[in-house]
Chain A
Amino acid sequence: MRLIKNREIIEDHWVHIADDPIPLEGCISVSTARWKAEREDLLARDGELGLRISPEDPIEDFAGDLKHFQLIGLEFPTFTDGRLFSVAAMLRRHYHYKGEIRALGGFIRDQIFFLSRVGVNSFEMKDTSDLEEALSALDDFSVRYQTASDNG
């Protein structure tokens, strides 16, 4: 599908696995529950691995495993739940996570600027009809007061 990554609109090949069998190849992401249950199988396969987290997942539970993940997906249950903003900031600043952090789920276009500032670098929108417009949200502001993941 098409999404915004590193300030560009790209065709993306990540597959977010729910309850389906794990494919042997390709870039896939799983929930924290499946990571816990199928850790060895997931590590044995070829292809990149991503972890999808919800605001309920304590960061300490997966922080030690970050080296296995090329992508962390932040699953917003609703756009008003701001916990994952702090989680993204901590992943970048405390755990020095260098992989892709992707916003998923219920976030909205008007949060893209703030999300990019706390370290999110890709945005998978539910509605992909106007990604050009969503891309411009990265530049809603040209100035900033705080030190954050984008200028720290």
Chain B
Amino acid sequence: MYQYNEIDQTLVDERVAQFRDQTKRFLAGKLTEDQFRPLRLMNGLYLQTHAPMLRISIPYGLLASRQLRMLAHIARTYDKGYAHFTTRQNIQFNWPKLERVPDILADLATVQMHAIQTSGNCIRNITSDPLAGIAPDELEDPRPYCEIIRQWATLHPEFAFLPRKFKIAVSGASNDRAATQVHDIGLYLIESEHGEIGFEVLVGGGLGRTPVIGQVIRPFLEKKHLLSYLEAILRIYNLLGRRDNKYKARIKIAVRETGLDRFRELVECEWEKIRDGMEIDPARFENMRQYFALPNYDHKAATEANPDSRRDRNPAFQTWLKYNTAEHKIAGYRAVYLSLKAPDSPPGDVTESQLDAVADLADRYSFGRVRSTHRQNLVLADVRRSDLFELWGKLVALKLATPNIGTLTDIICCPGLDFCSLANAGSIGIAAEINKMFNNLDYIHDLGDIKINMSGCMNGCAHQSVGHIGILGVDKKGVEWYQITLGGSSDNYAAIGERLGPAVAKDQVVETLAGILDVFTELRLEDEPFLDMVRRTGLQPFKDRIYAVN
């Protein structure tokens, strides 16, 4: 993975010093709350319902074991012993004290981590495929490009006060696992007809109040122009994006109001002026690729007898193997998902002792590396097939082996009303109810691939509008209600979910979900996935069932 050089380290250290000074000036009354707000947000710090919330950046979701141990230390020392992974592959702490935040940042800097641009109206963490580098369906590892973009975006002097937040994702595989199309800029690594690898560039995607699927602004961009093209888009957006209404300030609205063709014209005209001066040297790409070189796999792993001993025929192990591991491009290895969706804990949460234990497991089984996923789980990407049984046993003991990846209970969930000052409704409680109601693993496995995304407000941190089943908490005169959508998706065929009907009361959410699943099991054709069925039948059969009953 990328290792800081002196420049990277100095920048992060100086950012800590700057933020320490800003915090000091705020506490001394020299910065007003209005002035401090954007400054602290640009360093991931929110003032929340109970305490400040600090969001820490995990560039494209890649962590070293020593960084995990540092996160465990922070959870223990400055927080209440746990943390929460987010859909931007970041991690957040919900109970730090404002005056200790500079110390937390200083601790993070010792392991090449920071909280820069994890919030605020600036370029946020660059996200990517959690299986980057090892997925069999990959054209090229996107992470070197993510890191080049990360460096360019970090403390970019021109783009720190954008109209609104700005999110970029890069995917290099034929199956999109990075929700690329719902980003302000989405980049797909593709091969041109001449065999050259470059980027397809999408613009104007985004979730939140007005979910929009990104559109192609440039079908093929040569790699050397990556940064100049991004800069041109950002500059046009910075100048054009609306500043009179924060709900209309994202680039998706600027693209819609300007029209894609006109927007493209403006971008390309700007790009013409800057691209020659900003070409990326092939040596820089090569140098960056070396940081993401594959680890030293044991070639003997490929020829090891397929483990079919009695031990490995254990049905619980087999189930876990099926749901929580994924194919690896190197024979003899698999990627292992660590489910952060145990039935009795909030989705995406992890304790300090789990963080430490995962760091040890990463060192023992996966070359000391861990990845976070946008669905709020973790991945050990390089586990030898013959180690899987042993690893499974250890994960079971840590409650990280719930075999539910990609199933009904692998819910994306925001912190909701329990923690977040923006939220209108609870989400963690509903997730707990869903887990209580649907506790039969065989039933869940029969249902197959179903993605539930649930947010406690319109801001849509949990991407509810692209959930196969989306649940959105809303406030109606002080009472929590839930709007349900069906048919959303953030994969290659991205789609915004369609509203099922009027919002349902809090105590009706799980029952409604059960009704939806009943319709599905009755009408699905053989092993048809949920999303396929919704696309085939439309919402009518679901509406008939849910609203006829009421």
Contacts and interface: CB of A to CB of B under 8 A. Distances in A.
Given A85-B158, A110-B22, A110-B39, A93 B274 contact: yes
Interface stretch (A11-19, A35-43, A136-144): A136-144
A142 B155 contact: no
A90 B43 CA distance: 27
Contacts of B315: none
A94 interface: yes
Given A83-B238, A141-B14, A94 B273 contact: yes
Contacts of B38: 79-80
Interface in A61-100: 79-83, 85-87, 89-90, 93-94
B272 to A, nearest CB: 11
Given A79-B35, A83-B239, A85-B238, A141 B158 contact: no
Contacts of B155: 114, 141, 144-145
A130 to B, nearest CB: 9
B159 interface: yes
A4 interface: no
A143 B157 CA distance: 12
Given A140-B18, A144-B155, A146-B152, A82 B162 contact: yes
Nearest to A77: B243
Interface in B1-45: 7, 10-11, 14-15, 18, 22, 35, 38-39
A86 B239 contact: yes
Interface string B207-249: 0000000000000000000000000000100110001000000
Contacts of B11: 141, 143-145
B547 interface: no
A142 B14 contact: yes
A108 interface: yes
A115 B293 CA distance: 38
Contacts of A108: 35
Interface string B158-172: 111111000000000
B14 A143 contact: yes
Contacts of A111: 160-161
Contacts of B239: 83, 86-87
B161 A80 contact: yes
- Of the listed residues A93, A144, A148, the one surrounded by the most CB atoms of chain B closer than 10 A to its CB is A144
B194 interface: no
Contacts of B159: 82, 85
A117 interface: yes
B277 interface: yes
B238 A86 contact: yes
Contacts of B14: 140-143
B7 A82 contact: no
A110 B7 CA distance: 21
B157 A118 contact: yes
Nearest to B236: A86
A135 B163 CA distance: 28
B238 A145 contact: no
B492 interface: no
Given A79-B35, A147-B278, A85 B157 contact: yes
B156 interface: yes
Contacts of B163: 82
B243 A81 contact: yes
B121 interface: yes
B421 interface: no
Given A140-B14, A140-B18, A85 B161 contact: yes
A145 B284 CA distance: 14
A152 to B, nearest CB: 7
B160 A114 contact: yes
B151 interface: yes
A83 B159 CA distance: 9
Contact of A146 (B15, B121, B157, B162): B157
Contacts of B154: 145
A102 B53 CA distance: 37
A25 to B, nearest CB: 36
Given A83-B239, A89-B235, A118 B158 contact: yes
A64 B10 CA distance: 41
Contacts of B273: 93-94
A150 to B, nearest CB: 8
Given A143-B14, A145-B11, A117 B238 contact: no
Given A85-B157, A85-B238, A113-B157, 4 more contacts: A80-B121, A93-B273, A114-B157, A147-B277
30 contacts: A55-B243, A80-B38, A81-B243, A82-B121, A82-B160, A83-B239, A85-B159, A85-B160, A85-B238, A86-B235, A86-B238, A86-B239, A89-B158, A94-B273, A108-B35, A110-B35, A111-B161, A113-B157, A114-B155, A115-B157, A117-B158, A141-B14, A141-B18, A143-B14, A145-B11, A145-B154, A145-B156, A146-B152, A146-B157, A148-B157
Interface of A: 55, 79-83, 85-87, 89-90, 93-94, 108, 110-111, 113-115, 117-118, 140-148, 152
Q: Which 7 A-B pairs have the closest CB atoms?
A: A82-B161, A117-B157, A114-B157, A145-B151, A143-B7, A85-B158, A86-B238
